Amino acid sequence: MKASAEDIEGAFDRAFAGLEQARENHGTKLAPREVGTVTALSMGIASVSGLPGIGFEELIRFPGDVFGIAFNVDEDEIGVVLLGDYAHLSAGDEVERTGRVMDVAVGDGLLGRVIDALGAPLDGGGSVDAGERMPIERPAAHIMDRAPVTVPLQTGLKVIDALIPIGRGQRELILGDRQTGKTAIAIDAILNQRGKDVVCVYCAIGQRASSVAKVVAVLRDQGAMSHTVVVVTEGNEAPGLAYIAPYAATSIAEHFMEAGRDVLIVYDDLTQHARAYRELSLLLRRPPGREAFPGDIFYVHSRLLERSTRLRKELGGGSLTALPIIETEAQNMSAYIPTNLISITDGQIVLSPTLFELGVLPAVDVGKSVSRVGGKAQRAAYRAVAGDLKLAYAQFEELETFARFGARLDDGTRKSIEHGRRIRACLNQAESAPVPVPAQIAILLALAAGLLDDVPIDRIADAERTLRELAAVIPAEVREHLDTGDTLSDEDRATILDMARHAIAAFLPPTTPGTGPEPEPGHREAR
């Protein structure tokens, strides 16, 4: 059946009418763009010209979706820190302003994930589900927005929780020579936050891939990844990524803190961060200072660590506790970066290679370690025994030095040394085995009362294990006082000590009464 001329004409009219409507709806939009040119490339940096309106730390887009941060904003050219693989870039490439600063994805979707400093997933778990982005550089909370540090952050390590306590919102530096167990302390602190509603962020800066994989495997095996975000930059990546990694991790942590949650962040380690910043600064022709570090390295680290705090209840009451890690060389704590960070933080945990070689783990040098604000947050049960223990341990270390010379010792000195050896043995702890609060209190009370002084030193580990098991059968009302941080009453203390005496009796020599010796005057129970 042939179409009539009227049908064909109507079809054309409808087609032309549609085209005319589409033409009317279409409007050309002009948007200004600033385009520059790469003039030179170096290891991790680029020099760019032709962007007169660029701002400091603004993000710049390079070919291949590589980004960079404007670091040096000079009159003729811009020094840019590259973030990512820059092997395909060359002089003459066009670059473009983005009009924004570097930001990172934040939110609950990051929990359990391993990401890089740009927020890209590294664990093969698909795209990161985050509904919000935050700048990596943010001002620290105002003084008036901060609350005192009054709540303890339990690490599960007896030597730290008892003698160098950490509070929520504190910044506690971990420093020591390489291979002395710095990362192990931080990982144990993360493992101990299971079931305590504390979000953890582990930031690996310039680490070997094998080391990071080992840490992630420990967190997964121990069931700690559900409350942890891991931010990773490997040692073979661009130094710009190592520079921005801790800032990105802190923004992720701040999102949870501002939501009213308690957060623990670990920077492992800021030595690599400082070296990356030194490398970038020297390549950008910034003048070097002490140890060739740029003059603003102190400000770089202080503006990072000042973001850790505890907020007032009106602002949600969240907290951000920082555990930065620093590597020293030959125990030189007076080097530039260690002294900077010691002055920025609220205390330091010093690890001794000598103790590590002797098998004292964790190898914490109690004499050089300090917590400037954590004592205010420490539980009352710890405070009742920590003072006497720290004094007895310090006396022991001093006497032990003299005893090595073969000097003749009186009975009181010998007893102090034997007591100190048992303190050191009881504070020893295996890796990835945090001890709960009731078990720690039982051990510390027994130590302070001198109940372990007659136990042979080779059986101290078994006696300490028995005391840990004792915590499971402590009466519920006493355990509740320990968990809530209330002051131990004389009845509670007597109950725990009586149970400890019966538990330790099996490890005493046959000639020693089963009830244990009377406490020495220097070992008296703290009131």
Give tens-digit pLDDT for 305-323: 999 999 999 999 999 999 9
pLDDT attached to residue 476: 87
From 101, 135, 150, give the residue that closes a domain: 101
pLDDT attached to residue 402: 77
Q: Do the domain assignments include residue 12?
A: no
Q: Do the domain assignments include residue 520?
A: no
Q: Do the domain assignments include residue 351?
A: yes
Rg of the chain, C-alpha, whole Å = 30
Q: Do the domain assignments include residue 150?
A: yes
CA dist 186 and 264 (Å) reads 10
Active-site residue, selected from the candidate residues 194, 220, 275, 372: 372
Confidence band of 209 (pLDDT split at 50, 70, 90): very high
CA dist 454 and 517 (Å) reads 7
Claim to verify: residue 328 and residue 417 sit in the same structural domain: no
Least confident range of 328-337, 360-369, 386-395: 386-395
The β-bridge partners of 95 are 36
Distant-in-sequence, close-in-space partners of 258: CB < 8 Å, separation ≥ 6: 311, 315, 316, 318
Binding-site residues for ATP, in ranges, read 176-183
Q: Do the domain assignments include residue 515?
A: no
Q: Which amino acid is at 368?
A: K
Q: Is 379 a catalytic residue?
A: no
CATH number of the domain where residue 71 is located: 2.40.30.20
With a cut of 80, say whether residue 87 has pLDDT above it.
yes
What's the total number of domains in the chain?
3
Claim to verify: residue 261 and residue 364 sit in the same structural domain: yes
Q: Domain range spanning residue 316?
A: 104-377
CATH number of the domain where residue 483 is located: 1.20.150.20
Claim to verify: residue 128 and residue 65 sit in the same structural domain: no
HSE-CB for 289 with a 13 A CA cutoff: 9
Claim to verify: residue 149 and residue 78 sit in the same structural domain: no
Claim to verify: residue 183 and residue 59 sit in the same structural domain: no
Claim to verify: residue 253 and residue 146 sit in the same structural domain: yes
CA dist 212 and 3 (Å) reads 75
How far, in whole angstroms, is CA 368 from its chain's centroid? 21
Claim to verify: residue 359 and residue 469 sit in the same structural domain: no
Binding-site residues, in ranges, read 176-183
Q: What's the pTM?
A: 0.89
Claim to verify: residue 290 and residue 368 sit in the same structural domain: yes
pLDDT tens track for 280-306? 999 999 999 999 999 999 999 999 999
Claim to verify: residue 333 and residue 421 sit in the same structural domain: no
How far, in whole angstroms, is CA 283 from its chain's centroid? 29
Claim to verify: residue 412 and residue 312 sit in the same structural domain: no
Claim to verify: residue 45 and residue 119 sit in the same structural domain: no
Claim to verify: residue 225 and residue 88 sit in the same structural domain: no
From 377, 401, 423, give the residue that closes a domain: 377
- Residue 102: which of 76, 136, 128 has the closest Cα? 136
With a cut of 70, say whether residue 330 has pLDDT above it.
yes
Q: Of how many residues is the chain composed?
A: 527
